[in-house]
Chain A
Amino acid sequence: NAGVTQTPKFRVLKTGQSMTLLCAQDMNHEYMYWYRQDPGMGLRLIHYSVGEGTTAKGEVPDGYNVSRLKKQNFLLGLESAAPSQTSVYFCASSYTTIQLDPLGQYFGPGTRLTVT
């Protein structure tokens, strides 16, 4: 099992450029999440999905879009990147029922994005 993987690991964008971050999980998890981590802050939820074809906004959704066309993949899109979106992005996945797995959410290794 690869667990949760994220592509790419690093990326530098210019302001106004677009890109898509890919998150993939092979654990058949229903729930998937995108977080961002900024210096001095914990992780903050951007968007999440409770199943294939569904998405919902988290705490900081502005400037991002997401899609969950396949159960194993959760894509995070930046249509017009801004310097304020420079951050480390973490994807996570989980079972629907927390009792099923004591670890709760499984995290990917992160994507470091710099917008200049």
Chain B
Amino acid sequence: AQKVTQAQTEISVVEKEDVTLDCVYETRDTTYYLFWYKQPPSGELVFLIRRNSFDEQNEISGRYSWNFQKSTSSFNFTITASQVVDSAVYFCALSEVDYGGSQGNLIFGKGTKLSVKP
């Protein structure tokens, strides 16, 4: 069965601290995609990153970085030098892909609420 677990329900840090949000997934497929979304207090979902199962390279985008490890079925997200504007709920999600290349539904984790205090 497909499942995404975000064990950290809430995290609170002080501005400029580094913070890592954990994501562990379960899937039977060898081809799948992993996503991170940000949901700020305004409520919309903001796409952050997509990673396919064949690409285990870590990715860095400004203060954001992602560590994908298939051996541990994890796709963790680190914010370096956090800022108040990073305060949001962050969701990790999994999408399986069939052999025809069609994407499946997104399976979401329950989210991690990050509060960054000044």
Contacts and interface: CB of A to CB of B under 8 A. Distances in A.
B105 A45 contact: yes
A110 B103 contact: no
Instruction: Determine chain B's interface SS by DSSP, over half rule.
Output: strand
A110 B43 contact: yes
Interface in B18-34: 33
A11 to B, nearest CB: 15
- Interface residues on chain A, size class: 20 to 34
A87 B35 CA distance: 23
A107 B110 contact: no
B67 interface: no
A48 B105 contact: yes
A45 B43 CA distance: 18
Interface of A: 31, 33, 40-45, 48, 50, 58, 88, 90, 92, 94-99, 102-105, 107, 109-110, 112
Interface of B: 4, 6, 9, 33, 35, 43-45, 47, 50, 91, 93, 95, 97, 100-103, 105-106, 108-111
